[in-house]
Amino acid sequence: MQKKIFIKTLGCQMNEYDSNRIYDSVKRLGFEKSKDQNNLDCYILNTCHIRDKAKEKVYHEIGRVKKLYKKKNKPIVVVAGCVAQAENQEMLKREPYIDIVIGPQAYHMINDKLKNFIKDNKIEETEFDAVSKFNYFDNIENKNNKVSSYLTIQEGCDKFCSFCVVPYTRGPEYSRPFDKIISEAESLIKNGVKEIILLGQNVNAYSFKNKIKEYRISDLINKLDSYEDLQRIRYTTSHPRDMTDDLIECYSISKKLMPLVHLPIQSGSNKILKIMNRKHTVEKYLEIYEKLLKANQKVEFSSDFIIAYPGETENDFNETLSLVKKIKFINSFSFIFSPRPGTKAANLEQIDKEIAKERLLKIQEYLFKFQLNKNKSFINKSVDVLVENKLDGQRKLFGRNQYMNSVIFEGNKNFIGKNLNIKIENVNQNSLFGKIEKNNMRAA
Ligand code: SAM
Ligand code: SF4
Ligand code: F3S
């Protein structure tokens, strides 16, 4: 009989990719993906450690599962992801309901750990072994057949920004072999995937050398461009330091690379960037911005901001605001600085909470305004939409335009996976609403 497994995924796109790959792996042990959390043989929580209360969220979630199984046999409870890596043994001590703790670079061992799990014999596995992990998964087909799929090409980080846990939870930068990525992409395309989103903590730091040459992310984009059945290419998250000219050039030559560049800057003040150890300046960022616009006028930008970083004065904050007004980012993430244990910035003196909140609201006022303005600019225009799925219980379809905006419109589910021209009638801050254009030749 098939055993039931459910993975709850918190955090970034990389965790989503990992959870899907874990499903691909445990299938070999006879586990079947289940949505019913009340009758499971195995429950996995894939965790994120990036901001505050991450640890508490995990214990809260495990407490919830414990309640569900009060009167029943418990499933094997696994904590995976970045909190697992950061907390390791501590988790097993604090919450005996957890059976296995496994870090992100040890997922190749998940089947062995589950197969050999014996009740009351707790397991902790937090080795950094990216090479073995990717070698293992290279031999297991990526079964994803959604319209849009993630594909991890690079993992880990050597940059050590003073605020960030990622170098400690994901380990050193590792780039997968070029041909392995391409064969995974080919199998996704064969499964019906129409959009591939290349992933990495520093995705544009991708660098793989063999006897012939050094491959960069631009080589991956150029190669993917040649697959007829693939319609769109995106990548995330990039770092300004690795935004090289060959990648910028892709924006003028690639037919499939989407024109939204997510390029985190964090702050518009050089003083703050320096104490953050970001290794780039505002001027360098603006230079990249200009080059990208020159390569392709359709390019728009989104970014990440950390507000009220220790030492941020009103003047520093205003510099960030000026940058936001200059670039008019169309979609961004902004959070108040959250001190993370083990990082350099953890013990710095924090900005008063009220001031921090005020600054966050102020920057979001501008970020949201520019986002809405961009959305409004689509009204009465025809936009190119890749249809991803049908909305639950409705006759509506969901897709995305080139800038990642959600687009909602009425239509038949046969359109899923197709590119349609949608005439936009209405917008709000997050979504565009419209109708299928009458002469939609592209749908044929
Ligand atoms: N590698 C990417 C880069 O360098 O821009 C970012 C990856 S990180 C997973 C995603 C975002 O989380 C960062 O861009 C940053 O804005 C935010 N972040 C990381 N640590 C944070 C902290 N301690 N407090 C608040 N935000 C944080
Ligand atoms: Fe974190 Fe900085 Fe690495 Fe991005 S570059 S993952 S923010 S340490
Ligand atoms: Fe979170 Fe780890 Fe991603 S800390 S943002 S899940 S790399």
Which of the ligands is closest to the CA of residue 163? 1
pLDDT tens figures, 47-72:
999 998 888 999 999 999 999 999 89
**Token pair listed for 232:** 């769109």
Q: Does some domain include residue 222? A: yes
Residues 372 and 297 in one domain: yes
Q: Which of 129, 157, 176 is the last residue of a domain?
A: 129
Q: Does some domain include residue 238? A: yes
Q: What is the per-residue pLDDT for 188?
A: 98
Residues 390 and 428 in one domain: yes
Task: Please provide the size of the chain in residues.
Answer: 444
Residues 431 and 372 in one domain: no
Nearest CA among 108, 125, 86 for reference residue 24: 108
Q: Which of 376, 405, 428 is the last residue of a domain?
A: 376
Residues 340 and 406 in one domain: no
Ligand 1 proximal residues by C-beta, below 6 Å? 12, 50-51, 163-164, 166, 201-202, 237, 239, 264, 266, 304, 306, 335, 337-338, 340
Q: What is the per-residue pLDDT for 52?
A: 85
- State which residues of the chain have pLDDT below 50: 443-444
Q: Does some domain include residue 350? A: yes
Residues 68 and 105 in one domain: yes
* Angle between the N-to-C axes of helices 130-138 and 178-190, in degrees from 0 to 180, rounded to the nearest 10: 40
Which of the ligands is closest to the CA of residue 9? 3
Residues 367 and 387 in one domain: no
Contact between 258 and 284 under an 8 Å Cβ cutoff? The reply is no
Q: Does some domain include residue 272? A: yes
Q: How far apart are CA 403 and CA 433, in angstroms?
A: 15
Q: How far apart are CA 292 and CA 286, in angstroms?
A: 10
Q: What is the per-residue pLDDT for 159?
A: 96
Q: What is the per-residue pLDDT for 133?
A: 97
Give me the CATH number covering residue 307. Answer: 3.30.750.200
Residues 123 and 161 in one domain: no
Q: How far apart are CA 314 and CA 320, in angstroms?
A: 10
Taking the model in full, what pTM does it have? 0.96
Residues 11 and 124 in one domain: yes
Q: Which of 97, 129, 161 is the last residue of a domain?
A: 129
Q: How far apart are CA 262 and CA 329, in angstroms?
A: 9
Contact between 105 and 135 under an 8 Å Cβ cutoff? The reply is no
Contact between 418 and 387 under an 8 Å Cβ cutoff? The reply is yes
**Token pair listed for 262:** 């997510």
Give me the CATH number covering residue 124. Answer: 3.40.50.12160
Please count the structural domains in the chain: 4
Q: Does some domain include residue 134? A: no
Q: What is the per-residue pLDDT for 118?
A: 83
Nearest CA to ligand 2 atom 2: 161
Residues 307 and 344 in one domain: yes
Considering Cα of 395, then 400, then 404, then 408, what sign does the dihedral take? Answer: negative
Nearest CA to ligand 1 atom 22: 338
Q: What is the per-residue pLDDT for 183?
A: 97
* Atom in ligand 1 nearest the alpha carbon of residue 165: 20
Residues 120 and 9 in one domain: yes
Q: Does some domain include residue 135? A: no
User: Could you tell me if the CB of 50 is within 6 A of ligand 3?
Assistant: yes
Give me the CATH number covering residue 424. Answer: 2.40.50.140
Q: Does some domain include residue 263? A: no
Number of H helices, E strands in the chain: 14, 21
Which of the ligands is closest to the CA of residue 202? 1
Domain extent at residue 396: 382-442
Q: Does some domain include residue 87? A: yes
What is Dmax (Cα atoms) for the chain? 64
Residues 102 and 21 in one domain: yes
Residues 323 and 394 in one domain: no
CA 433 to ligand 2 center in whole angstroms: 35
Long-range contacts of 184-188 (CB under 8 A, 24+ apart): 184/138, 184/142, 184/151, 185/151, 185/224, 185/227, 185/230, 186/227, 187/141, 187/142, 188/142, 188/144, 188/145, 188/149, 188/151
Q: What is the per-residue pLDDT for 440?
A: 67
* Atom in ligand 2 nearest the alpha carbon of residue 164: 1
Q: What is the per-residue pLDDT for 444?
A: 42
Contact between 320 and 364 under an 8 Å Cβ cutoff? The reply is no
